[in-house]
Amino acid sequence: MNLEETVSEVVSEEPSLEEVELILGYEFKDKSLLLEAFTHVSFHNSDKYSEKQLTYLRSDNTDNEKLARVAFKCGLHRFLHHKKPMLEQQIQEFEKAMEDYPLHSHGLIVAPKILADVIEAAIGAVFIDSNSIETVWKVFKDVLEPFITLEKLGENPVVTLLEICQKNGLKFRFDTDSWENDQTAKVYIGDSLIGKAAYGKKDIAMNRAAKDALDKIESYFDCETMMSSMQVKEDPKSSIQVLCEEKNNEDERDKCPQ
Instruction: Assign residue 83 the CATH number of its domain.
Output: 1.10.1520.10
pLDDT digits (tens, 9 = 90+) for 117-143: 888 888 888 888 887 777 888 888 877
DSSP type of residue 136? H
Give the pLDDT score at 101.
87
Domain count of the fold of the chain: 2
Q: What is the pLDDT along the chain (258 residues), one digit of tens a residue?
A: 332 332 333 334 455 788 889 999 999 999 888 888 887 543 333 333 333 333 444 443 357 888 888 888 888 888 877 667 788 888 889 999 999 888 788 778 888 888 888 888 888 888 888 877 778 888 888 777 766 665 665 566 777 787 788 777 888 888 888 878 898 989 998 888 889 998 876 767 887 888 899 888 876 555 444 444 444 444 444 455 555 555 555 555 555 555
User: Does 121 lie in the same domain as 15?
Assistant: yes
Query: How many angstroms separate the CA atoms of 154 and 38, rounded?
Result: 24
d(CA 83, CA 3): 10
The answer on 88 and 58 residing in a single domain is yes
* Side chain identity, residue 134: E
CA distance 13 to 39: 11
Contact in structure between 57 and 123 (CB atoms under 8 Å): yes
| Amino acid in position 128 | I
Which pLDDT score is estimated for 169?
80
- Quote the pLDDT of residue 242: 56
What's 189's domain CATH number? 3.30.160.20
Provide the whole-model pTM: 0.53
CA–CA separation, 69 and 118 (whole Å): 11
For residues 31 and 46, give the distance between their C-alpha atoms in angstroms, rounded to a whole number.
Answer: 20
Statement to judge: residues 129 and 94 lie in one domain: yes
**Given 94, 129, 153, which residue is the final one in a domain?**
153
Query: Cβ–Cβ contacts within 10 Å for residue 92, how many?
Result: 11
Residue 127 and residue 54: Cα distance in Å, rounded? 9
- d(C-alpha 240, C-alpha 246), whole Å: 10
User: Would you list the DSSP string of 89-126?
Assistant: HHHHHHHHHTTT-SS--TTSS---HHHHHHHHHHHHHH
pLDDT at 128: 80
Task: Say how far apart CA 35 and CA 80 lie, in whole Å.
Answer: 10
State the DSSP string of 5-61.
HHHHHHPPSSP-HHHHHHHHT---SSHHHHHHHTB-HHHHT-SGGGGSGGGTT--TT
Q: Are residues 116 and 49 in the same domain?
A: yes
E-state strands within 160-246: 172-175, 184-189, 192-198
Q: Assess whether 58 and 140 both reside in one domain.
A: yes
Looking at the fold, whether 166 and 144 belong to one and the same domain comes out as: no
Q: In this structure, are 85 and 128 located in the same domain?
A: yes
* Domain shared by 137 and 65, yes or no: yes
CB atoms within 10 A of CB 47: 9
Environment class of 5 (CB within 10 Å of its CB; exposed 0-12, middle 13-18, buried 19+) = exposed
Same domain (yes/no): 76, 188: no
Tell me: do 124 and 166 sit in the same domain: no
Angle at 215 between CA 57 and CA 137, to 5 degrees: 30
pLDDT at 203: 67
d(Cα 126, Cα 33) in Å, to the nearest integer? 8
- Rounded to a whole number, what is the largest CA-CA distance in the chain? 71
| Residue where a domain terminates, one of 118, 153, 188 | 153
Residue where one domain finishes, among candidates 138, 153, 168: 153
| Residue 247 domain boundaries | 159-255
110 & 176 share domain: no
Shared-domain flag, residues 14 and 81 = yes
